[in-house]
Amino acid sequence: MTPASGYLCLVLHAHLPYVRHPEFGESYEERWLYEAILESYLPLLDTFERLAEEGVRFRVALSFSATLLEMLKDELHRQRFLRYVDSRISLAEQELQRTSHQNQELQPSVQMYHERFQRFRRLYLDRHQGDLASAFGRLADQGYLELLTTAATHGYLPLLEPNEQMVRGQVQVGLEAFQRLTGRSARGFWLPECGYRRGMDAILTEAGLDYCILDTPSLVGARPRPRFAGFAPIRTEQGLTCFGRDLEGGLEVWSSLGGYPADPEYRDFYRDIGWDLPLDYVGSYVHESGKRLNTGLKYYRITGPTDHKEAYRPAEAAHVAERHALAFLSARQRQVEWLRERMGQPPVVVAAFDAELFGHWWLEGPLWLEHLLRKLDSEGQGLQSITPASYLQEAPLPQVSEPNPGSWGDGGFNARWLNPSNDWVYRHLSAAGQRMVEMARRGDEEDSDRERLLNQAARELLLSQSSDWAYLMSTGQFAEYARKRTRDHLVAFNLLYHEFQEGKVDPEVLRNLEERNPLFRNLDYRAWR
């Protein structure tokens, strides 16, 4: 094998907030999960399995949040997901009929969806019996994937107070759930939103973690100034290795203007038949309330910046995905060659993305990834795929430096999660955090009911801390739901706190709360001491 001139470290982060509403026949927000399974997680699994079966040598790091893993294992969600897929298949069949008589230029797209839905249903149910965590775990066992995890409910750690105990709770519960749900220990940690605050490294290393992923500015602004900017990890004095996400490659994919997913040939995300076709036709496939929603069937390509859209051409889009994969590979090869000459050692370029970008928004994303990994194996010319843990085994000991606090949000700091749309939450989260520490320290280990109460209080606190709620309030999308979820968990937490203070436990209230959010079954409130 050619000696490595540099490394490409692909990191995909899969996360969704915990959503579970058995009280409703259908919930808008549960669709986040079903869309992500059908459009992202299954296509990615399909891609990785195909590459592995064909003997392509690749390595990808894949982060799973504990909330997502809990939902993937949940029988209610499995049943509802199957119902969702079956309904997509039924809609696609209906569409095959309709477009055979009219809009025949849309037939290739309809056929593509029909085939995809059926194939991914088989992959989900027949091949993996609905157990996606184990499916990805097998790829990890074979050395293709490196699985890592994140904070239990994806809390935005820099803003949680009191910080040490809140971070410890998020980390310990996240790691325990990951271990329980995947059967393996995580060495790496995806910091939610790449959010870092001084002192967090001690908590992560105390939990047995080796590395985390930060945004490049956290490395570029580290102290002392790192020798290799963001192209080699640094190590904190506490022993946590920090990799920096590459901005250059990131822009090629993420830029709203020139990013690959904006190519005119790619499938347009926004034109969905849930909005385009008469409600009496698509009504049963949107929502039981009759409100319009995306169905997942989208027949147009991006075409251009106007509302004029032309029919999607799957074969042409596939060619573009291949071309973009080659362009990305070529750009990274040039990048690492240039860097290696100056660095005197192989650089590591970390390409980190949300897993849900691939397939859900960018339909051709998994195909792009497949081409990239194939070409990297066959035509890498010294550029090798690597995972963070493998890199740590092969590379020299990183330079010791203290990362700068930051995040991957706009501006690079905390503004996305702390602004006038959402700042009210921190007063309450901070108070709840103080109360949780107080309760944990006073907790009576002899009394099982009080122990359950304390564990449920910690569960409610964790759920209220999810970074998604502050984010959604900030964007205005699903803001009301985000406010409600924050409020509901804080109200439940405060109720339990008052019961604890009064020395009583209402069994019915406690059971109700436990049943409403049945996750983190091994949670131990002592983590908050």
Nearer to other proteins, 490 or 519 (CB): 490
Give which of 345, 398, 349 is closest to 372, Cα–Cα: 349
Closest CA to 213 of 278, 151, 143, 291: 151
Pairing of strands 145-150, 188-190: parallel
Nearest approach, Cβ of 201 to other proteins (angstroms)? 13
Nearer of residues 172 and 464 to other proteins, judged by Cβ? 464
Q: Choose between 96 and 229: whose C-beta lies nearer to other proteins.
A: 229
Ramachandran category for residue 208: left, alpha or beta (phi over 0 → left; psi -120 to 50 → alpha): left
Q: Based on CB atoms, which residue is closest to other proteins, 20 or 416? A: 416
* Side chain identity at residue 187, one-letter code: R
Cβ closer to other proteins: 254 or 526? 254
User: Smallest gap, in angstroms, from Cβ of residue 251 to other proteins?
Assistant: 6
Shortest separation between residue 382's beta carbon and other proteins, angstroms? 18
**Min dist. Cβ of residue 235 to other proteins (A):** 12
**Torsion-angle region of 524 (φ positive above 0: left; ψ -120 to 50: alpha; else: beta):** beta
Taking alpha carbons only, the member of 350, 351, 367, 314 closest to residue 44 is 367
Nearest to 296 by CA among 47, 92, 125: 92
The overall longest dimension of the chain from CA atoms, in Å, is 71
Least gap, CB of 471 to other proteins (angstroms): 6
| Minimum CB distance to other proteins smaller for 56 or for 461 | 461
- The CB density around residue 338, as the number of other CB atoms within 10 Å, is 12
Task: For residues 203 and 289, give the distance between their C-alpha atoms in angstroms, rounded to a whole number.
Answer: 46
Beta carbon of residue 447, minimum distance to other proteins (angstroms, whole number): 25
Q: How far apart are the first and last CA of the chain?
A: 51
The residue among 13 and 459 lying less far from other proteins, judged by its C-beta, is 13
**449 and 510 in contact (C-beta within 8 Å)?**
yes
Taking residue 426's Cβ as centre, other Cβ atoms within 10 Å add up to 16
Minimum distance from residue 493 beta carbon to other proteins (Å): 10
